[in-house]
A = this chain, B = another copy of it.
Amino acid sequence: MLSEFELIERLRQQVKSQPALRLGIGDDAAEVLFGKHQSPVLVTTDMLMDQVHFDLASTDPKLIGRKSLAVNLSDIAAMGGEAIAVVISYAFSQGAPATLGEQLHAGIVELADQYGVAVAGGDTNSWKGPLVISVTALGQPIGSHSIERSGAQEGDIIFVTGELGGSLAGSHLTFEPRLREARALVENYDVHALIDLSDGISSDLQHILRESNVGAIVEADLIPISAAARASGGKEKSPLDHALHDGEDFELLFTLASAEASRLLADPTLAGTPVSQIGSITSGSEAWLKVQGELVPLKRQGWEHSL
């Protein structure tokens, strides 16, 4: 089997462009234009499977439903978008309790209501396989355009919201999609590039560097390490490693020109959530980690979700 990134690249090459597709495969969401006014619509989809993205046997189904929506809302936030509607498909295992669908759905509906997102439709199936949930979220840019991965510029300051690492301890199920933070960011700052941290900084920052044709230096001392990452740090992996390489933090990473960055640093919060300056964009194409004054390559560590 190919790696996920190789496969996506191959699938991307098979696809033709169409006039309505303003932004296709390769960002957190696509942007498609509708109607005579060419209204921009953001669309993103994620499929979650039992034993891969959650463990049905040991997890409250409400949290599983919540997560399946939250990861999609995070992708809309990562475009500088507001979420408008979602559709949901389920494949239930035959013999699953009659209440499972309602519990999963309750978790979805509660989060959807919280952000004013319409649950517009879906598809329900049953089969002999494990539980699968596929959610597609639709949104629209908050500002005049969506914020892509490709806009980072040399000299930009790199920021992240919240704290990083250790999501397996629980936050991968309970994290808050950063929709409010994205709105505060877009409405108050000229954002150059934006992504959500689904695979860890060491992986997701690379997407911005590749799409923007730039490099970056991340300062180890500035990484906001979560309490969960500190608790789960051990012999094999330090708390910093968890913060750099763990997946499913679903915090926002973004870049601002230095004058904009100074404004944000005067009150480093967005919608009440702390933000941290963690480094800067450079020329070149490499990501470096500065540890005790020395630069070492910040290598992507493929995130493997092992439950």
Contacts and interface: CB of A to CB of B under 8 A. Distances in A.
A73 to B, nearest CB: 14
Contact of A84 (B20, B95, B121, B136): B20
A47 B126 contact: no
Interface string A74-100: 000000000011011111101111100
A29 interface: yes
Interface residues of A, number: 73
Max chain B CB contacts within 10 Å: which of A20, A40, A120?
A120
Interface stretch (A6-14, A202-210, A212-220, A237-245): A6-14
B25 A35 contact: no
Max chain B CB contacts within 10 Å: which of A4, A45, A127?
A45
A10 B102 contact: yes
A303 to B, nearest CB: 13
Interface in A122-154: 122-130, 132, 134, 136, 138, 140
Given A4-B124, A127-B52, A91 B47 contact: yes
Given A41-B41, A140-B34, A18 B117 contact: yes
A68 to B, nearest CB: 11
A47 B120 contact: no
Contact of A35 (B40, B87, B88, B123): B40
Number of copies: 2
Interface string A155-195: 00000000000000000000000000000000000000000
A89 B44 CA distance: 10
Interface string A95-116: 1111001100110010011001
Contact of A37 (B39, B84, B97, B118): B39
A126 B41 contact: no
A81 to B, nearest CB: 11
A273 B37 CA distance: 33
Contacts of A43: 85, 87, 120-121, 136, 138
B32 A118 contact: yes
Given A109-B16, A118-B32, A94 B1 contact: yes
5 contacts: A29-B121, A30-B120, A46-B89, A46-B123, A47-B132
